[in-house]
Amino acid sequence: MKSVWSESVDLPKFPKLEGDKSCDVLVIGGGLAGILCAYFLKEAGVDCLLVEGETICSGVTKNTTAKITAQHGLIYAKLIQNFGVQKAKQYLSANLWAVGKYRELSEVFQCDFEEKNAYVYTLTDRKKIEDEVSAVNRLGFGAELVEKVPLPLDVKAAVRFPNQAQFNPLKFAAGIAGGLNIRERTFIQKVKGNVAYTDTGNIKAEKIIIATHFPFINRRGLYFIKLYQSRSYTIALENAPDVGGMYVDEAENGMSFRNYQNLLLIGGGDHRTGKPGGRYQELRNFARTRYRGAVEQYSWATQDCMSLDGIPYIGRYSPNTPNLFVATGFNKWGMTSSMVSARILRDMVLEQKNQFADVFAPDRSIFTKQLFVNLSDTVVSLLTPSTKRCTHLGCSLKWNEVEHTWECPCHGSRYDEKGNLIDNPAMRNADVK
């Protein structure tokens, strides 16, 4: 089904690539991250071409819940513990800058931008909230502990970030993309050196940015072991209350809440792509008991790339590719992460120092607990007897009975019931007969 954003916006259309082209910078991927990269580069006077395999914002961007916030779950206490105060402060400063940049651009590109407080709540462990408030305050930001929120849940406590925001992402993208050099329905089949190959022409570029959600070049960067994908679901209810802010559970499989116009958006039902989860039914059961009389108007699902340590990978694709860059692993916080990516990658392309880049560098250590979970799942899937295999690296596909799709539990590629590719990192259709 279509998201509320898709129903509200007519995005601009762009031609398909015809013939060979050359440019200073090629951006591959027409979601919000790629569009913002192209926008910032154009502002800097760079000759930039963006290409998208389908149409702009036809992937994850159209299915976000569109929260613009530096509050990314209970992340800051963990960042201080794992990376130190300086890098935690870099992460916070980068995302607060992103909130401010959206605020600034929303004055130019009308997008239903609204300032809202953001909350992370817990149903089980008040101490987690206390620790997070202390950590964020230590970094110089005025987070607060609150004990009551207007949700029909037994909340033990919540951490509040003031002056965050929400918006309509497709209205914003439509405005930003309007003046850019874009080619749609231009699927990049491979990148070799400084040339990207398509079936209607090749593109030669001095520098290339991969903003395709999940990076598709396997030979570099080890992204196929550094990332997994998670699906989550949203329903939009009419005749439900205004909750007055943006809310997310600190628990991995909890729910999120925000309003848009006359609708209440409830998100959740999360699961690793290719594995079981609550999906829509969990949300509908909750709405039926807690918001009686509300009527579901929209429902949609999305897919997020999850990094090993909770921080996106933004920077050089690998240490040995000085002119190839990447933005991925946004961990369900794609709005501010897209804006941060655009600023960092613009500066790297221009060979300028960026104050935020260090904490997001893709070549940081991969030795985390999540690495071994990813490797274990991959081995199990590769050894599972099945004729239905992902065309990415050969993992066994699993059937999603709710969405009628074949899904890869290793890296998150998805196919329709006939095997036609829906989501990368796979680059071609699968045989599912």
The stretch 214-233 carries a mean pLDDT of: 94
353/375 same-domain check: no
End-to-end CA distance of the chain: 25
End residue of a domain, out of 326, 343, 360: 360
Residue 149 sits at the vertex; the CA angle it makes with 147 and 155, to the nearest 5 degrees, is 60
Please name which of 288, 291, 241 lies closest in space to residue 262, comparing C-alpha atoms. Answer: 241
Give me the chain's average pLDDT, please.
96
The model's pLDDT over 291-321, given as tens digits with 9 standing for 90+, comes to 999 999 999 999 999 999 999 999 999 999 9
Rounded distance, CA 386 to CA 21, Å? 42
Q: Quickly list H helices, 44-168.
A: 76-83, 85-106, 126-138
Question: Is the separation of the CB atoms in 381 and 397 below 8 Å?
Answer: no
pLDDT at 123: 98
Quote the number of domains for the chain. Answer: 2
Q: Quickly list H helices, 249-355.
A: 279-290, 334-349
pLDDT at 219: 86
Rounded distance, CA 299 to CA 2, Å? 7
Please name which of 179, 196, 182, 202 lies closest in space to residue 58, comparing C-alpha atoms. Answer: 182
Residue 257 sits at the vertex; the CA angle it makes with 252 and 169, to the nearest 5 degrees, is 100
Q: What's the pTM?
A: 0.96
Number of separate helices (H) and strands (E) present in the chain: 11, 21
Which residue range(s) make up the domain with 37?
4-64+170-225+310-360
pLDDT at 2: 87
373/419 same-domain check: yes
The answer to whether residue 278 sits within a structural domain is no
The answer to whether residue 392 sits within a structural domain is yes
Please name which of 249, 90, 236 lies closest in space to residue 159, comparing C-alpha atoms. Answer: 249
The answer to whether residue 398 sits within a structural domain is yes
The answer to whether residue 298 sits within a structural domain is no
Whichever domain contains 220, its CATH number is 3.50.50.60
Question: Is the separation of the CB atoms in 418 and 430 below 8 Å?
Answer: no
Number of Cβ atoms within 10 Å of the Cβ of 26: 25
Number of Cβ atoms within 10 Å of the Cβ of 406: 24
Q: 75: Cβ–Cβ under 8 A, 6 or more apart, which residues?
A: 91, 310
Rounded distance, CA 219 to CA 99, Å? 35
In this structure, what are the phi and psi dihedrals at residue 343, rounded to the nearest 5 degrees? -70, -45
The answer to whether residue 97 sits within a structural domain is no
The share of the chain scoring above pLDDT 90, in percent, equals 95
pLDDT at 433: 84
The model's pLDDT over 341-359, given as tens digits with 9 standing for 90+, comes to 999 999 999 999 999 999 9
The stretch 197-213 carries a mean pLDDT of: 97
The model's pLDDT over 92-109, given as tens digits with 9 standing for 90+, comes to 999 999 999 999 999 999
315/218 same-domain check: yes
Residue type at 298 in one-letter notation: Y
Rounded distance, CA 343 to CA 101, Å? 10
The model's pLDDT over 69-84, given as tens digits with 9 standing for 90+, comes to 999 999 999 999 999 9
The stretch 161-190 carries a mean pLDDT of: 97
Question: Is the separation of the CB atoms in 215 and 328 below 8 Å?
Answer: yes
The answer to whether residue 262 sits within a structural domain is no
413/314 same-domain check: no
221/323 same-domain check: yes
Rounded distance, CA 41 to CA 44, Å? 5
Rounded distance, CA 174 to CA 208, Å? 23
The answer to whether residue 73 sits within a structural domain is no
pLDDT at 347: 98
Please name which of 250, 300, 313, 305 lies closest in space to residue 272, comparing C-alpha atoms. Answer: 305
The answer to whether residue 14 sits within a structural domain is yes
